[in-house]
Amino acid sequence: MSLQITCRNPACGAALKLNDSLAGKKVRCPKCAKIFEAEAPATLDLPRENETLPLPSTPRQSIVGSATPLHVSNSNTLIDDRPLMAQGVPVIERIGRFQIRTKLGEGAFGEVFRAYDPQLDREVALKVAKPGTLTTPDRIERFLREAKSAANLRHPNIVPLFDTGRDGARYFIASAFIQGRTLEAELEEGHLTQTDTARIIRKLAEALAYAHSQGIIHRDVKPANVMIDEQGEPHLMDFGLAARAESGEEKLTQEGVAMGTPAYMAPEQAKGEQEKVGPASDQYSLGCTLYEMLVGHTPFSGAPAQQLFLHQTNIPKSPRSLNRGVPRDLDTVVMKCLEKEVGKRYADCQELAEDLRRWASGEPITARRAGQVERLVKWTKRNPAVAGLMAAVVLVSIVGGTISYLNYRQAQTEATNAKKQEGIAQTEAANAKTQEGIAIEKADLATKEAKESRRLLDLSRLRSAQADFRNNLVQVAHDTLVPRPS
C-alpha cells in the first residue's frame, strides 16, 4: 500500500509516494532533506514492482550503502526488515552463494538485502545493482568502485567489504552487516550528548584519516552513511562515490558535475571541480555532520541547487550563535572544518581528531577563531563584485564626507573671523564713545576755567577801582570799572 504526500517545505513542494506504514511518522524529503510528519492517506494503493520509496525517519536497521545512489542525489530509501513477500516485491531467494533474508533498502541504481553467506557462516549486507542500470562498462566500473575503494581498508570504524561478483545479469557487493541504525536515525531521536557527538566525529575523523593515508577519498560523508552499532560505535560505510587519488579514478566522473549529497558538499565539490576534491573535502563534509549533530540541521537548507550555491558563497551561522549551549571550542572546531578555502581547514582529519580529543579531555584546542578583519577579507574574496561596489560606495562617501567637512571648516572659520571683526568694531565704537566723553569733559573744564578767569579779572578790576576811589581818583576808578569800547 502507498500514500501520496507533498513536502511541507514551501521552497520544495515535491510530490512523494511513501509506504502507508509511515503514516503519522516523521519522514525526510529526498529532495530538500526537510523532516516532517507524513499525514494519514486519503486513499491507499498497492506499490508497483521495484518502486523506489523514501527513507522513514527512524529505520529499525540499515546497512552498508543501503540508500545512497552512486551519483548526485538527495534521495534516501526505505529500510524495511519485513519478509520480502510482505514488502510487495518479487521474492529473490539467492544471489550467487548468498541466501537472501530480507530487503533492507533501495536506491535509484541498486537494492540492498540482508543475506546469509553459508560458505563463511555469517550474515552480510548485499548491495545488488538493478537490472538495466549497468548498461555500459563505465557504469559497471562505477558500481564496483566501492569494492575497489574499500577492499583493502581495515579500520575498526570502517565497514569491511567481503566480496564482489556477478550472478547472471546481477552485479553485487557483499559487506559486513552492522546491527544497529544510521547516525541519521540517531539524530532524529535527539539523544546524543555533546560528549557522544565529539567521540563519534573523532572516530570518524580517524577512520577518514586512515582511508586518506591509503589514497581513498570518500566524497559522500553524511549521517546516512554512518552506522551506529549496538555498542554505540560509529562505522563509516558506502564508498560508492569514493576515488583512489593516485589512480585517476576521478576520470569516471564528469568534470563540472557535482558528485555527492548537496547538504554536505565541500565548496570545491559543489563546483564540480573533481580534480580539487581531496581529503579536505571529506573533512568539510564531516564538519557539516558535526554541525548538524550540534544544532539539529545542516549548515544550509533549501533545494539542492540552492544548497550547492550557498556552500560555495556563504559562511554559515556558527553553531554557538544558534545554540548557546554549544561550547566555544567545539564551535571553533566546526567553523574551521567549514572554511571555504582548503588551506584554512585542518591539515588533515587526524588533526581534527586530535582537537576533538583535546576538547573531550579539557585541554586547549589548536584551532583559533577568525578575527573580524580575517572574516572581512574572506567575505571580500568570495564576493568581489559586491565588495567592489561597496568599496566604491564607501570611497564616494569618504570623498563626499571629506569635502563636506572641509566646507564646514571653511564656513566655521569665516564665521569666527566675522565674529572677531564684529568684536573689533564694537571695541572701536566703545573707544570712540569713551574719547567723546573725554572731549566733552575737557570742553566743560575749559568753559569752567574761562569763567573762572573772567571772574578773577573782574575781581581784580574791582579791587583796583576801590584803591583808586580811596585815593580820590574817581575818574580812574570809573574807567577801570567801565572800560571804554574798543
| Residue 238 known to be catalytic | no
Examine the domain organization and report whether 16 and 142 are in the same domain. no
Cell representation of residue 135: 548498461
Examine the domain organization and report whether 40 and 54 are in the same domain. no
Q: Residue 69: how many CA atoms within 13 Å on its side-chain side? A: 20
Instruction: Answer whether residue 323 is part of any domain.
Output: yes
Domain range holding 36? 1-48
CA distance 158 to 237: 6
What is residue 106's predicted lDDT score, i.e. its pLDDT? 80
Whether the Cβ atoms of residue 57 and residue 28 lie closer than 8 Å to each other = yes
Instruction: Answer whether residue 442 is part of any domain.
Output: no
Examine the domain organization and report whether 106 and 84 are in the same domain. yes
What is residue 370's predicted lDDT score, i.e. its pLDDT? 56
Domain boundary among 324, 349, 382: 382
What is residue 1's predicted lDDT score, i.e. its pLDDT? 52
Examine the domain organization and report whether 135 and 226 are in the same domain. yes
Examine the domain organization and report whether 134 and 278 are in the same domain. yes
The sign of the torsion formed by the CA atoms of 67, 306, 219, 148 equals positive
Domain boundary among 312, 347, 382: 382
Examine the domain organization and report whether 206 and 159 are in the same domain. yes
The residue annotated as part of the active site, out of 80, 117, 220, 282, is 220
* Number of compact structural domains in the chain: 2
Q: CA triplet 96, 99, 105: central angle to 5 degrees?
A: 95
Examine the domain organization and report whether 30 and 133 are in the same domain. no
Examine the domain organization and report whether 33 and 80 are in the same domain. no
Examine the domain organization and report whether 140 and 245 are in the same domain. yes
Examine the domain organization and report whether 31 and 60 are in the same domain. no
What is residue 52's predicted lDDT score, i.e. its pLDDT? 31
Please identify every stretch of the chain with a pLDDT value under 50, giving residue numbers as ranges.
41-90, 245-257
Give the amino acid at 103: K
Q: Residue 209: how many CA atoms within 13 Å on its side-chain side? A: 15
CATH of the domain at 204: 1.10.510.10
Instruction: Answer whether residue 439 is part of any domain.
Output: no
